[in-house]
Amino acid sequence: MRTIWITGASSGIGEACAYRYAASGHRLILTSSSREKLENVAERCRREGAADVRVLPYDLGEPDGIKLLSREAWDAFGGIDILFCNAGISQRTRVEDTPLPMVRKIMEVNFFAPVALAEAVLPLMIDNGGGRIAVTTSIAGRFGFPFRCAYSASKHALYGFFETLRAENQNNGISVTMVCPGRVRTAISLNALDKGGEKHGVMDPGQDRGLSPEKAASIIVRAIEKRKNEVLVGRAELLMVYVKRFFPDLCAKLAGRIKAV
């Protein structure tokens, strides 16, 4: 029985992973900005077989309380075996329509919050003999993606930080799994920031045809269990990751043709 802390646990990939872990009888700590939604997820996790569930609502766009939140999560069950930094926010704006405050907001949630969580939990994990950290990135973190300038930048940044964390802690019992989804059928496009910082409120057609959160969770949990360095989650769109690796000029041309909204 392990203790798993999942951020962004009230919907989508985080919610589906919570149910997956619950069915295996683990202890769960669930975080998102909505207490009501978390309580609903927690109740189902209990029905699915979770050994215990704690709800820790928090807005990860507020950096000042993250250290205290991390301490509370660690103390909930006397340790954390798996930290899954999954919470994130996206956008649907061109570069010229993306003001700097929006860029900072997206970076705060998508990059600085996972960094702060990891920096708070990592020393405790090391002292406890090791642990696992998983981080949700995106194929938009592997190449520039139209209408996602800040989102793509935040996901690129995650690779730099967490791959370094892994390299520095190979002898400390710490594994890092970069979770790289393509199109998964979640509410991320509905909640994405549009012009003026309002919710986009539209389900992207490609995303609507994407992998189900349940299927994604099956792939992700298996990868974390196997301590994989990275797991790609999606369908044909994942080919772009390999196009970028082997044919970067072609990738640049194809990226401009993506129907991003």
Q: Which residues are catalytic?
A: 151
Is 77 in contact with 56 (CB distance < 8 Å)?
A: no
Tokens 């349940």 label which residue?
Answer: 214
Q: What is the dihedral of CA 194, 197, 202, 203, to 10 degrees?
A: 90
As a whole number of angstroms, the distance between CA 207 and CA 183 comes to 5
Distance set, CA 235 to CA 24, 27, 90, 109, 241 (Å) = 27, 31, 20, 26, 12
As a whole number of angstroms, the distance between CA 79 and CA 101 comes to 36
As a whole number of angstroms, the distance between CA 185 and CA 254 comes to 23
